[in-house]
Amino acid sequence: MGLFFSLFIGLYMFMSYTYSCVYQKAGVSNIFLAYFPILQLLPLYKIIGKSGWNVLWLFVPVVNICFVVYWTVLFFRAFRMSPWWTLLVFFTPFWFLIIIYMAYSPDVVHRTARVPVATPAVM
């Protein structure tokens, strides 16, 4: 029981840190909210351009599923990723690998991040 609890806490802390890295890539302040279960949604709503009050939709049965899918599509678009990633999130057990990829890959950038423009070589 103690080993399971320790493993759960360790995994939770790792994923919270991963979410805070994603939030930092998006330039969101208050990334410490990633460590609190319900509050970790507030930076997510900021990334997708929605109000924090949208968390109330999660308590409405059936409607909450539609909103979560919609918010996930907006989340991937905010990071210039294909909305098709949403299918992997909902239909595979490996959703956490996608979040880890987003947090630590230099290829994934937020839409507000400045992408360096290639300049022609001067001869």
All structural domains of the chain with their residue ranges: 9-104
pLDDT of residue 4: 92
**Higher confidence at residue 119 or residue 62?**
62
Q: What's the pTM value of the predicted model, to 2 decimals? A: 0.82
pLDDT tens digits along 4-55:
999 999 999 999 999 999 999 999 988 999 999 989 999 999 999 999 899 9
**Are 55 and 41 contacting, i.e. CB atoms less than 8 angstroms apart?**
yes
How far out from the chain centre does Cα 73 lie? Answer: 11
Average pLDDT value for the chain: 88
Please give the Cα distance from 80 to 62 (Å, whole number): 28
pLDDT of residue 85: 87
pLDDT-based confidence at residue 87 (cuts at 50, 70, 90): confident
